[in-house]
Structures are given as structure tokens and as C-alpha cells.
Amino acid sequence: MARYAVVLAAGRGERLWPLTSTRPKPLLPLPGGETLLSRLLRQLQGLVDGVVVVVAGGWAGEAVRRHLEEKGLAASYAVQREQRGTGDAAMVGVEALPRGVDEVLLVNGDLLVSRGLLEAVAGAGAPALAAVPSERPWEYGVVDIDERGCLRGIREKPADARPGSLVSTGVMLLPRGRLEELLRGLKPSPRGELEVTDALTALAAEECVRIVTGDWLWMDVGRPWEAIEAYKAVFRERMGPRREPLVEGEAEPGAVLRGPVYVAPGAVVRSGTVVEGPAWIEGEAGPLARLRPWSFLLRGSRAGAHTEVKASILMEGAKAPHLSYVGDSVVGEHANLGAGTVTANLRFDHSTVKMTLKGRRVDTGRRKLGAFIGGYAQTGVNVSLLPGVRVGAYSWIYPGAVVSRDVPDCSFLAPRGQEYVVEDLAGRIECPRHLDRRVKS
């Protein structure tokens, strides 16, 4: 019996903007050099006979292909020309399968999961769905199970769900023939999309769809602050119970490393720098910097002299060279923070931080949350970014500005009289054509 995985990797990742302005969501980098997608494909090895990755058209699909080829990961590709929902993406993937495939392991390409979850579903026999308990089940599809342990139905984001309820992971093993029939018969949901969960519910009405549960790592990395939580999960997985530093790179004399701190090959912690673990360093820290718990510096990044980083990610090549504070924030690849840039991570009234996601104001539930800065953006000296603010990719922030609203991609937040206005940067620098220059909030 032949089994293939169909990995859905065509989503826009709008809620994760601006981190998805310069890369598709499944290519979100992780500590250690993997991405969400490359990690997932490695985990699938030995569980399936082949993989079909469903990608978007244009730059995003090409970026996925190029990335997986660079990683040496074999896959076939199917292009979803229009964004019509997960059901349509699944149909595109199923249609691209070889004729002899009997079972389909359907997986979302933007998940952070453990290998054990995939093994459990693959070994359960089709049809089966993995479900995990969630402390925020009202944000997902809650699984309703009958007395036999079979799927009765899925309630999408029910307001009355209780913490600890089982939610769908989006990982399922299904018979290829029946899945194809059900996908072809899908009708648009109330939100106007074709939903793969509707096909699953229809199948559950015909036969037992086994619910597989376990104590696995599962994260839907869909919102900006969840990137930080994903990095924490990877750190715990990689470092385990370790409580002392692991230095494979260089820690100069006078550098202080406390607790579980990983210094990767080629990384350097310079003299006078204090690093309080957990922390992960692939770039350069210091001299005279301070890295507080849950700081992540990816390859080529730098937290320089008198810079403090706390519970934040500096992606590949990102720079905070001197006199900056980066707290509970994500700085995109090759972004540069001018001297004195501060990401404020606590509201003046100490209430929870709100952000605008896909045009809707969302309470993050977090009292500590900083800024999210897109790739290749730059701030001038003494810029202050208020909690929950997002700065688009390739954008500029004028020196001394207090940024209280989101700044679109390829834009310049510039002074005009007593105010700051957003101007289009496209005439001054070369920005990728696909970037969205509309204000997001």
C-alpha cells in the first residue's frame, strides 16, 4: 500500500505580517538552520513514500522550491493558482499524486510538530485525525468525539470551549479515493472558502475517523508572537534538561554565560557580555551586551555594545549594533536598528497589548509584547516603537520617531510639521514587486 504526504504550503500568512513579507510562512526560520517546512519534510522521511508540496504561484512558490532544493529535500510540487481555502489546496495536492497512491497523510506546512505526532497518525490506519488538548481551544477547531473514540464533528472556534478541550491538529491520514470524491463535492463555507474540515466531517458521517491523541509538540505558528513561542519549543527540544552552557563557538575571556546557553559553531560572545539562559546564539553578542532569557540570535545577526535583548529573535543578519533595547520582539532578516532604538514591551497602563491582524483588533492576552520588524527595514537613532507595533519590510523610520501605528512595507515614516506621515519608498529604493504598501491598521 503506497502512502504519500500532501503538505499544504500555499497560505499567504497575512496574520504573521511583516515576517511573511519577504518569505512564505512555511519558510519561517528556526534555531539551528531549519525552517518550519524543511523540519516537517525531514520528519516525514520514513513515514511516507513521497511528498507533494502545494505552493502558491509567483515568488512564494519559487521561494519554497528553491529552499527545499538547497536543503536537499526531495518533493513534487503542485501550484494552487487561487487562494480558495484548504479544501481547494488539498484537492490540488491530491490531483498531483501518482496513480498508485492509496493513502494520503495531509499536513499543514506551517505547523511545528514532533515526529511522534506524525508517527502516531501514520500508524493508526486511515482514516485518522490527530488531536491535542489546548488551553485556548476557542482559537481552533474543537473535536467532538463519540463513545467509540471516533470523530463526531469539528466546531470551529467555539466561544464556549473550555481550556483543555481537544482541538484538531490539521494532521490526518485519509483514503485517497474517498478523499478525492469528498473534496470535489465541497461547497464554500460561510466565510466563502472550501474547507478540508468539511470533507473530514462528511467522511466521519460514513465511517469511524479515529481520533489519535498524545503528549506531543504541536503549534500553529499563525500570529507574530507565536514565533517566539515556537523558538522556545525548539530550544527545549534541542537542549533538553541541560542547565549549563554549551559552547561550540567562541566565548571570549570576560564573557559571562549563565544557565542553558547555546553558542553555535562560528558564533561569538565578546568580552564583557552577560548572557542569561535560556539563550541561543548563532551570531555575535557584544562586547558589553546583555542577553536575558529566551534571546535568540540567528546566523549573521548582532547584538552589539550596550544593547539589551530579552525574549526576542534577531533573524539572519539582523543588527542592533549599539545602545538598543529589544524586548519581546522579532527583528526580521537584515533589518538594522539605529543607535538608541527601543522596542517598548509594556503599556503605560499595564493592560494587555492589542494588535491589528487582518483588519481586526486582537487582544494578544500578553502584558509584555514588543515590536515586529520586517526584513531589510531600518530605524534611525533614538526611535521608540510602542507595544504591538509592526514595521513593514524594507521600511524606514525617521530618527527620533515614536511609532504608535503599523507602518506598511516599503514605506518611510517621515516628519511633516508636528506629525509623522507614511510615504511610499518605492521611488527611492528597490523594493520587491510583491510587497503590499497598504497600511495594515
CB 168 within 8 A of CB 145: no
Instruction: Please report the pLDDT score of residue 359 as a whole number.
Output: 85
Residues of the chain above pLDDT 90, percent: 89
pLDDT per residue as tens digits for the range 218-244 = 999 989 999 999 999 999 999 999 999
Instruction: Please report the pLDDT score of residue 427 as a whole number.
Output: 83
Rounded to the nearest 10 degrees, the angle between the axes of helix 58-70 and helix 36-44 is 50
Residues of the chain above pLDDT 70, percent: 99
Instruction: Please report the pLDDT score of residue 419 as a whole number.
Output: 85
pLDDT per residue as tens digits for the range 40-92 = 999 999 999 999 999 999 999 999 999 999 999 999 999 998 888 999 999 99
Res 437 pLDDT > 70: no
CA-based nearest residue to 54, from 22, 81, 19, 20 = 81
pLDDT per residue as tens digits for the range 307-346 = 999 999 999 999 999 999 999 999 999 999 999 999 999 9
Give the end-to-end CA distance of the chain in Å, rounded to a whole number.
50
Instruction: Please report the pLDDT score of residue 440 as a whole number.
Output: 45
H-type alpha helices, 286-428: none
pLDDT per residue as tens digits for the range 156-166 = 889 999 999 99
CA-based nearest residue to 80, from 97, 99, 61 = 61
Res 139 pLDDT > 70: yes
* DSSP of 154-222: EEES-TTPPTT-EEEEEEEEEEHHHHHHHHHT----TTSS--HHHHHHHHHTTS--EEEE-S--EEE--
Q: Which H or E run contains 416?
A: strand 411-416
Q: What is the mean pLDDT of the chain?
A: 95
pLDDT per residue as tens digits for the range 355-367 = 999 888 999 999 9
Sequence-ordered list of residues with C-beta below 8 angstroms from that of 261, at least 6 positions apart, any chain: 245, 246, 247, 275, 276, 277, 278, 279, 280, 281
Instruction: Please report the pLDDT score of residue 191 as a whole number.
Output: 81
Res 436 pLDDT > 80: no
pLDDT band at 441; cut points 50, 70, 90: very low
Backbone φ, ψ for residue 233 (5° rounding): -65, -40
pLDDT per residue as tens digits for the range 194-225 = 999 999 999 999 999 999 999 899 999 989 99
pLDDT band at 31; cut points 50, 70, 90: very high
